[in-house]
Amino acid sequence: MEVIKVADYEALSKKVCEIFINRLQTIENPVFGLATGSTPKGLYKCLVETYESGQISFANAKFFNLDEYIGLDKSHPSSYTYYLMKKLYEHIHLTPDQIYLPNGNATDLQEECARYEQCIRDCGHIDLQILGVGINGHIGFNEPGTPFNSRTDVVNLTESTMRVNSRFFKSIDDIPHRAITMGIGTIMESKEIIMLVSGKHKADTLQRMIHGNVTEDFPASILQKHPNVTVIADEEAFHD
Ligand code: F6R
C-alpha cells in the first residue's frame, strides 16, 4: 500500500486527477470504477475541466458505478446515478454503452446484482477503482461485518451511514435503508485501487485502514492485502 500525503483537498484532487489521466492515456480500453460522496467531487471537476480544455478523450473508456440506493429513481438528485451523470458523464460525451449502473429499481434485485457482476467480468475487470471510505471503515456500501469475499449484493445500510448520508437528503426519513453495492471481493479484483481520504473526521479511519488489524469489522482494512493500492490523503486526515 503506497500512502501519499498531500497538503489539502485541492492537492488531493489534483494528484488523483493526474493518475487517472495517466491510466486513461496508457491503458488501451480502460475500465474505471467510480465512487460518489463528497471526497471524489474534486476529481470529477478536474476531469471535466481537463476534457473541456481539449487535452483528453474518454472515447475508449468504460465506467462502473460502485453502488446505488435501492428504490430511488435515477432522476432523483440524491441517487448515485444522478450524481455521476451530473458531475461527470454528461460533460464528457459518453455513449450509453460506456456507462454501467446498478439498477436499484430492478424488479429482481438478485438478478440485477448477478448481471452487474457479469458486466464487470465481461469488461475484463476494473483497471482503476476510485474509493472513498466511511468513518466506520465501509467501502462502497459494505458495512462492518461484511465477508471479505462478498460479491455485488443487496445490503442494509447501518444507522451511522444513514445518519452521515442524510446530508444529501431533505430529511433522514427520505434516505433508503438498502443499496446495491459491488462486493468487497469484487472491489479487490480491481487491478488498481486509489483510496481518497480527506479531513480531520477521517483521521482515526485512515490510521486504522493503514495500520490496524485486517478484520471484517473494518472493511477498508482489507486494502492492506491488495497488491496495487494507493491511498491519497490530505494533512488533516493524519493524526499530528
Ligand atoms: C460512495 C461510497 C461510499 C463513500 C463513503 C465516503 O459511492 O461508496 O463508500 O465513498 O461513504 O463518503 P464521503 O466521501 O462523502 O465521505
- Of the candidates 12, 96, 71, the one whose C-alpha atom is nearest the C-alpha of residue 46 is 12
Cell of 216: 471484517
Residue whose Cα lies nearest atom 1 of ligand 1: it is 36
- How many angstroms separate the CA atoms of 75 and 95, rounded? 18
- Of the candidates 186, 171, 238, 235, the one whose C-alpha atom is nearest the C-alpha of residue 209 is 238
Evaluate whether 186 touches 147 at the Cβ level (below 8 Å): no
- Which residues belong to the active site? 67, 136, 138, 143
Beta strands in 141-191 (DSSP E): 153-156, 178-181
Q: Report CA(84)–ligand 1 centroid distance (Å).
A: 13
Q: What is the pLDDT of residue 91?
A: 98
**What's the pTM value of the predicted model, to 2 decimals?**
0.97
- How many angstroms separate the CA atoms of 77 and 61, rounded? 25
Cell of 46: 478536474
Which residues does 104 contact at the CB level (< 8 Å), separation at least 6? 68, 69, 70, 71, 72, 79, 176, 179, 180
- Of the candidates 172, 155, 6, the one whose C-alpha atom is nearest the C-alpha of residue 78 is 172
Per-residue confidence of the chain (240 residues) as pLDDT tens digits? 999 999 999 999 999 999 999 999 999 999 999 999 999 999 999 999 999 999 999 999 999 999 999 999 989 999 999 999 999 999 999 999 999 999 999 999 999 999 999 999 999 999 999 999 999 999 999 999 999 999 999 999 989 889 888 888 988 888 999 999 999 999 999 999 999 999 999 999 999 999 999 999 999 999 999 999 999 999 999 987
Evaluate whether 21 touches 50 at the Cβ level (below 8 Å): yes
Please indicate whether residue 139, judged by its CB atom, sits closer than 6 Å to ligand 1: yes
- How many angstroms separate the CA atoms of 167 and 95, rounded? 31
Q: Report CA(164)–ligand 1 centroid distance (Å).
A: 10
Q: What is the pLDDT of residue 133?
A: 98
Q: Is CATH 3.40.50.1360 what the domain over 2-237 is classified as, yes or no?
A: yes
Q: What is the DSSP letter of 179?
A: E
- Of the candidates 157, 164, 148, 156, the one whose C-alpha atom is nearest the C-alpha of residue 202 is 164
H/E stretch holding 68 reads strand 67-69
Please choose from 85, 133, 184 the residue to mutate so as to test ligand 1's pocket, defined by most ligand atoms within 8 A of CB.
133
Evaluate whether 236 touches 201 at the Cβ level (below 8 Å): no
Give the number of other Cβ atoms within 10 Å of residue 222's Cβ: 23
